[in-house]
Structures are given as structure tokens and as C-alpha cells.
Amino acid sequence: MSKSALITGITGQDGSYLAEHLVSLGYEVHGLIRGQNNPRAAIVRRIVPELHLIEGDLHDQSSLISALEATHPDEVYNLGAISFVALSFKQAINTGEITGLGVTRMLDAIRVVNPKIRFYQASSSEMFGKVRETPQTELTPFHPRSPYGVAKVYGHYITVNYRESYGMFAVSGILFNHESPRRGLEFVSRKITDGVARIKLGLETELRLGNIDSLRDWGFAGDYVRAMHLMLQQEEPDDFVVATGETHSVRELLELAFGQVGLRWQDHVVVDERFLRPADVAMLVGDAGKARSVLGWQPTVSFPELVARMVESDLRAVAADLTANSAATPR
Ligand code: NAP
């Protein structure tokens, strides 16, 4: 009999990649969608036509219980969150509610409806923040530097707590940055590749950014969703770091992205203090040795290839917009 999964955060970057992956494995896939007439529903439906959408919100416990009762999932992937670090500083309480307490609401809904459902929590390398050691592993202590990171630490520990208290199969995947052409435009990688496309096609001349010295461990989202699924197929529940093991600066990303279209980033990038954060994370790099040995997982897309794919995709998207707009303009 085929398995069934419920994914929160279905309209986000990882939601669509994970849904595609699970559909390819024969799963019946349900996605939790929030709000009235969410405009992103149509986009994710186009990407994954086999997907079933069900209404619900991580702020609303009874909607989660109803979604579980209606969909009977074997596995729940909790990807829903306020996930943009900069926004978490502006909406710290809302971030605690959704990114933090939302995890407890879902875990408790599972405990009540069917504690045999396997649960994946989307934890983050931002929990390491001001890092205590390099590279970071499952045993590295946390020191988050943003309301987002703090809320994710809560989500991580409540997942471990429900596993230990109620014997639930609940796991936390500590994923380092992962990007793709589907990354939201607010995130620095996509802001850069979209900016490069706009500058190359003559729509803009400059790109304003915050700290370009940050170092991150960047992988491809399509690779990372395979690790989420593998974590729920193990005999025993456990937590895993998922990372490439390489770190690159925002500068290197700029070099590659502008270089791909024959431009120099120094001619277009303006460092704008408005984008600096009250507290920042200087450098992250993960050790995914446990995921490699236990899950048999490894990344397949290199950093240069990832940036190249994102720039190509944004060049196509911006050019298509230009063509559509010029066709719509009356002569
Ligand atoms: P994303 O693109 O920002 O997507 C976030 C999702 O959360 C959206 O689908 C959004 O839906 C949903 N959401 C927001 N508020 C909600 C609420 N109240 N109830 C239910 N859903 C809500 O994030 P992502 O990059 O796919 O990441 C997926 C998860 O992994 C997130 O939890 C993120 O924090 C975590 N993570 C990501 C990375 C990374 O590098 N991408 C690394 C580590 C961990 P709407 O359409 O309704 O806004």
C-alpha cells in the first residue's frame, strides 16, 4: 500500500521539491495551505499536479488536528515557518508563535490523533549562530543570534522532548543553507541571481546588499529534501546535520553570479547599512558525516553549479517577463 505524507510549508522552496520527491516515490502527498485564496497555491499546484491541498495554519491547533484526521498521513514534514532571519527581527513574537510554538502544536496534534505518525522538524544551522566549534555537528552547542534561530532551537528541543517523553518517531534535521531557482526573492542568494539577471537585461543598474562577508555552507534544495525523507525511513528516530562541508562567502557568490554574465560585481553592488542585522552569524560550515554514513546521503550539486543554475533560471524568467510586458503594451 502506498504511503501518505502531509507537508506544512508546501508553498515554500522546500515544500515543492519534497512533494515532487515523495510523488516520485509513489506517496500520496498532502500540503497544508494557509490563508484565504493563497496566491502561491496555484504555483505549487502547477509544479506538482498530483498534490492535494488542505487548509490549515500553524497558529491554529484545531486546523492541524482536522488536517491530520482528514489526510491520515504516515509521515508529517513540518517545513512551515517564518523563515527569513531579517523578518524575524521585525516580528520576533510572530516568529516565536509560528517557527517555535507551531512545532508543538503539530507534535501535540499528532500525539492526540495518531502518535504512530512519523514527524520531521525542519531545524536550521542558524541555531549554531555564534559558533562554538567548526565544523558544526549534531553535538555542537547552540548559540542562536536571531529570533528565528532562537525559535528553531525551541522547535528542535520540543521535537527531541516529544520523542523522549511519548516515544514518538520525531526527528530534527539540522539543515544548512540550501538554495535553488525556487528560493524566495528575499533571500540573499536569489536576490543576487535575480539582481544579476535584471542588471544584465538592462532593467536595473545596482544591487543593494547587507553583509557580504558572511560565510555559509550552501547546498541545493533538491538534494536536501532527499535527506528529510531518508531520516523518516530509519529504524530508530535520530537527528542529523545536513550540509556540504564547504563554506563560501557572499562575495564568492557575487563573483560567480556576475562573472557568469560577463559583469564585475564591484561595478554594481552597493553595501547598504539598512540591510545589516542587529546581530549576525559570521560563518557556518557543517559536518554531515553522520548523514553520509547512516543515511547514505550526499549532495550532488556543487556551489558553482548551483549559482549557475540560479542565474540561468533568473535570466530566463526576467527575459520572459520582458517579452510578456512588451506584448501587453499597446503600440
Ligand atoms: P520558505 O520558502 O520561506 O517557506 C516557508 C513556508 O512556511 C511557506 O510555505 C509559508 O506559507 C509557510 N508558513 C508561514 N507561516 C505559516 C503558518 N502560520 N502556518 C503554516 N505555514 C506557514 O522556507 P524554505 O526555504 O522552503 O524552508 C523550509 C523550512 O526549512 C523552514 O522551516 C525553514 O526555516 C527551514 N530551513 C530552511 C533552510 C534553507 O536554507 N532553505 C535551512 C534550514 C532550515 P505561505 O505561502 O502561507 O506564506
Would the pLDDT of 258 be above 80? yes
Residues 6 or more apart in contact with residue 178 via CB below 8 angstroms: 13, 14, 218, 219, 220, 221, 223, 224
Q: What would the mean pLDDT of 172-185 be, rounded to a whole number?
A: 98
Q: What would the mean pLDDT of 134-152 be, rounded to a whole number?
A: 98
Q: For a substitution probing ligand 1, which of 79, 128, 247 has the most ligand atoms within 8 Å of its CB?
A: 79
| pLDDT tier for residue 187 given thresholds of 50, 70 and 90 | very high
User: Would you state the cell numbers that stand for residue 319, as one nine-digit string?
Assistant: 527575459
37-93, pLDDT tens digit by residue? 999 999 999 999 999 999 999 999 999 999 999 999 999 999 999 999 999 999 999
Any catalytic annotation for residue 16? Answer: no
User: Would you state the cell numbers that stand for residue 80, as one nine-digit string?
Assistant: 512551515
- Structure confidence at residue 182 (pLDDT): 98
Quick count: other Cβ atoms within 10 Å of Cβ 269? 20
Residue type, 73: P
Would the pLDDT of 220 be above 60? yes
- Structure confidence at residue 261 (pLDDT): 98
Q: Which residues line ligand 1 (CB under 6 A)?
A: 8-15, 32, 34-35, 38, 40, 57-59, 79-83, 98, 122, 124, 175, 177-178, 184
How far is the centre of ligand 1, averaged over its atoms, from the C-alpha of 136 (Å)?
Answer: 23
Q: How far is Cα 134 from Cα 118, in angstroms, rounded to an integer?
A: 31
How far is the centre of ligand 1, averaged over its atoms, from the C-alpha of 84 (Å)?
Answer: 8
Q: What would the mean pLDDT of 222-236 be, rounded to a whole number?
A: 98
Q: How far is Cα 194 from Cα 287, in angstroms, rounded to an integer?
A: 30
Nearest partner of 317 among 190, 168, 127, judged by Cα: 190
pLDDT cut 70: percent of the chain above it: 99
Q: What would the mean pLDDT of 120-148 be, rounded to a whole number?
A: 98
Any catalytic annotation for residue 162? Answer: no
Pairing of strands 52-55, 178-179: unpaired
How far is the centre of ligand 1, averaged over its atoms, from the C-alpha of 79 (Å)?
Answer: 5
Pairing of strands 248-249, 215-216: antiparallel
What angle is formed at CA 74 by the lines to CA 69 and CA 80, rounded to 5 degrees? 75
Q: For a substitution probing ligand 1, which of 6, 33, 82, 83 has the most ligand atoms within 8 Å of its CB?
A: 83
Would the pLDDT of 183 be above 80? yes
282-311, pLDDT tens digit by residue? 899 999 999 999 999 999 999 999 999 999
Would the pLDDT of 316 be above 80? yes
Q: What would the mean pLDDT of 137-165 be, rounded to a whole number?
A: 98
Of 1 and 263, which is predicted with more confidence? Answer: 263
- Structure confidence at residue 326 (pLDDT): 84
- For ligand 1, atom 10, the nearest C-alpha belongs to 9
- Structure confidence at residue 233 (pLDDT): 98
Nearest partner of 56 among 111, 94, 102, 121, judged by Cα: 102
Nearest partner of 61 among 93, 103, 4, 7, judged by Cα: 103
Atom of ligand 1 nearest to the CA of 11: 9
Nearest-10 crossing angle of helices 188-200, 250-260? 30
Pairing of strands 170-175, 118-124: parallel
Q: How far is Cα 75 from Cα 40, in angstroms, rounded to an integer?
A: 23
- Structure confidence at residue 330 (pLDDT): 64
- Structure confidence at residue 328 (pLDDT): 79
Would the pLDDT of 275 be above 60? yes
Would the pLDDT of 94 be above 90? yes
Question: How far is Cα of residue 157 from the mean position of the Cα atoms in its chain?
Answer: 19
On the question of a cis peptide bond just before residue 141, with omega within 30 degrees of 0, the verdict is: no
Contact 188, 209 (CB under 8 A): yes
Q: How far is Cα 205 from Cα 168, in angstroms, rounded to an integer?
A: 53
Look at residue 204 and give its three-state secondary structure.
coil
Q: What is the pTM of this model?
A: 0.97
Atom of ligand 1 nearest to the CA of 125: 43
Would the pLDDT of 331 be above 60? no
Residue-range domains of the chain with CATH: 4-179+217-242 (3.40.50.720), 188-216+247-284+303-322 (3.90.25.10)
Is residue 3 packed enough to be buried (19+ CB in 10 Å), middle (13-18) or exposed (0-12)? Answer: middle
How far is the centre of ligand 1, averaged over its atoms, from the C-alpha of 262 (Å)?
Answer: 34
| pLDDT tier for residue 1 given thresholds of 50, 70 and 90 | confident
- Structure confidence at residue 327 (pLDDT): 83
Span of 60-74, 271-285, 310-324 with lowest mean pLDDT: 271-285
Would the pLDDT of 199 be above 90? yes
Pairing of strands 269-271, 207-209: parallel
Q: In DSSP terms, which residues pair with 210 in a beta bridge?
A: none
Q: How far is Cα 112 from Cα 89, in angstroms, rounded to an integer?
A: 33
Any catalytic annotation for residue 148? Answer: yes
DSSP output for 44-60 = HHHH-TT-EEEE--TT-
